[in-house]
Chain A
């Protein structure tokens, strides 16, 4: 059996579930919107370095949004032993991981797609020619964050305090991706590539590839009792 076909089947199932319940999008979207609106009131309207602060606030919001969404998505699999239902199927374990990853990426990107323009407007940022960099940084940063988060959500799902454990596991490991994503977004908000931006982009790409491989290799052991 191929890996991608069952992975897409699982992702489509998650999407269908979300369309019915709106659990993840509603709770996560509202939370991030609240963060962004609150930040916009306390944000300085001028001065140097505001792009860097904006990028930091944005990624804090994205990090918490991703954590909330991934925790909820894996918790759904825990109810009625649905995760076991996936694991007793002939779908390779890697397909189960990729399916959950695709779904989590879909939810997180959907939230980001709404939040990012609102954030730019409310904080009066003018990325102009750096918009592509903001989009690229958001894509690469989210990919790394959600890859690590999906793996750790599967680890945390069987623990008693999974809501508390997931951030504890994800945050330290995601620091390099977060720092790089903030730096790339800052450059984007400032209008384009700056000194060192290429290095941060390469770091993000390397982080994504490394953790995708690590997650694919370890997920079968994480889900096996």
Chain B
């Protein structure tokens, strides 16, 4: 994991437009090391775009994205090595086995000992028993665990999860929540997008709500969460009536 003490994410006046559609609108956001942030909002609010801009998959139309004080636009490959991304799609090749997928990504990340990294990741995610099985043959929950193993291969300092609970049954979702708690160490930054307000307020320590590409709410999650849940649902209702 990166030992830079100044590790943090800073978005300054970030906008992202797709044609005439403004997905992010002058977003200012500071996320310090050790943060566990839930990003919520209605469909099309800009959650996925926010993660794509932080991961370097999308370039902001305006503004700057900095990780550990370094501009993403100027040092993309170096910064991408600090980030692990999990999407609701697995980013895994369905016809390759779990081991082939993980070994491929370990090499792509330039890890010195890819085999060891793969073994560490599969043991951590409890997927060692499916190493020789094609990803196509795995259940949705197991695939998601393998996808997480892929994202954790290089022990990233920043973990971005885009709707990781999508398609998981209750047992798999509970297991994922436990894992996220374990990953949320003071050295890391975890940012996840999700729709379930109960889950968003039960694990993460900070809630950011996006509405129309702007930050509508940004508060630490402390004490009773009823007020925050009500505030979030109020925002959704207001947006639905707009």
On A, residues with C-beta under 8 Å from B are: 1, 5-6, 9-10, 13, 16-17, 20-21, 76, 79-82, 84-92, 224-225
Contact = CB atoms under 8 A, between A and B. Distances in A.
Contact of B57 (A76, A79, A84): A84
Interface of B: 18, 52, 55-59, 77-78, 80-81, 83, 85, 87, 89-96, 100, 104-105, 107-110, 150
B17 to A, nearest CB: 11
B80 A20 contact: no
B91 A225 contact: no
Dominant secondary structure at the A interface: helix
B107 to A, nearest CB: 5
A1 B58 contact: no
17 contacts: A1-B81, A6-B108, A9-B108, A13-B96, A17-B96, A81-B89, A81-B90, A84-B85, A84-B87, A84-B89, A88-B80, A88-B83, A90-B80, A92-B77, A224-B57, A224-B59, A225-B58
B92 A86 contact: no
Most buried by A among B55, B78, B81, B110: B110
A148 to B, nearest CB: 24
Contacts, number: 79
B223 to A, nearest CB: 36
Given A88-B80, A224-B57, A225-B58, A82 B93 contact: yes
A166 B76 CA distance: 29
Contact of B78 (A5, A79, A90): A90
Task: List the 6 shortest-distance A-B pairs measured between CB atoms, nearest first.
Answer: A85-B91, A81-B89, A225-B58, A90-B81, A90-B77, A89-B108
